[in-house]
């Protein structure tokens, strides 16, 4: 059973992925979400786009195999939450399904190739993903763990891990997608 913090995070993630807003996830929703994430990449950055598409394809296969309990080719919110806790965030799947997307998006967003995200790069990335600067700019400060004015690859990966795995409502990673309405 997930904690209230994890339920809220996975519910927010479900809403983000439910691109057609029909209350179920389908392969089309995950492909559409991959297309949204691919917008972070430059037009000629086929490597990042392919990595994003492949990772979302793997994520859909995990959901289909482990969450679609009634075999209808769709995943309900409850099925999603259960599969996220039991399968997608399990060590054997997390790196290839979640972190592969995070790594590709980070590479794509690092437009000057210096290996870190500036505030402008971070805000631009999340704006492409549908998160307003009103939320992403304050999140940047929380995710810049060493306070040096940039988010390193390791800091970004830490935030992703926090979002998916931490039950601490004060975890900085909880702010990746904007406010979750979690108690502080």
pLDDT in tens, 116-136: 999 999 999 999 888 899 999
Q: What is the pLDDT of residues 66-121, one digit of tens each?
A: 999 999 999 999 999 988 888 888 888 899 889 999 999 999 999 999 999 999 99
SS3 for 97-114 is HHHHHHHHHHHHHCCCCC
Main-chain dihedrals φ then ψ at residue 4, nearest 5 degrees: -60, -35
SS3 for 43-76 is CCCHHHHHHHHHHHHHHHHHHHHHCCCCCCCCEE
Rounded Cα gap, residues 6 and 33, in angstroms: 21
Q: 11: closest CA among 61, 77, 74, 89?
A: 77
Instruction: Give pLDDT, residue 90.
Output: 87
Rounded Cα gap, residues 182 and 92, in angstroms: 28
Class for the domain spanning 4-171: mainly alpha
Helix (H, G, I), strand (E, B) or coil at 80: helix
User: pTM score, two decimals?
Assistant: 0.89
What ranges do the domains of the chain cover?
4-171
Residue 178 has pLDDT above 70, yes or no: yes
Find where tokens 């927010």 sit. Answer: 12
Rounded Cα gap, residues 164 and 85, in angstroms: 9
Instruction: Give pLDDT, residue 97.
Output: 85
Asked if 89 and 164 touch (Cβ cutoff 8 Å), the reply is yes
What average pLDDT does the segment 57-72 reach? 92
Main-chain dihedrals φ then ψ at residue 61, nearest 5 degrees: -60, -40
Asked if 37 and 129 touch (Cβ cutoff 8 Å), the reply is yes
């Amino acid at each position: 059973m997930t904690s209230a913090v994890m339920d809220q995070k996975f519910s927010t993630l479900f809403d983000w992925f439910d691109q057609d807003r029909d209350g179920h996830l389908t392969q089309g929703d995950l492909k559409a979400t991959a297309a949204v994430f691919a917008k972070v990449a430059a037009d000629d950055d086929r490597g990042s786009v392919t990595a994003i598409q492949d990772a979302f394809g793997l994520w859909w296969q995990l959901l289909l195999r482990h969450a679609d309990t009634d075999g209808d080719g769709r995943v309900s919110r409850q099925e999603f939450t259960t599969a996220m806790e039991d399968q997608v965030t399990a060590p054997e799947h997390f790196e290839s399904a979640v972190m592969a997307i995070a790594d590709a998006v980070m590479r794509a967003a690092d437009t000057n190739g210096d290996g870190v995200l500036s505030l402008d790069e971070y805000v631009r990335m999340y704006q492409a993903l549908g998160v307003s600067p009103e939320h992403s700019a304050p999140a940047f400060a929380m995710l810049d763990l060493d306070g040096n004015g940039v988010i390193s690859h390791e800091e970004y990966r830490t935030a992703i891990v926090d979002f998916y795995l931490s039950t601490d409502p004060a975890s900085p990673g909880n702010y990746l997608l904007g406010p979750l309405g979690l108690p502080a």
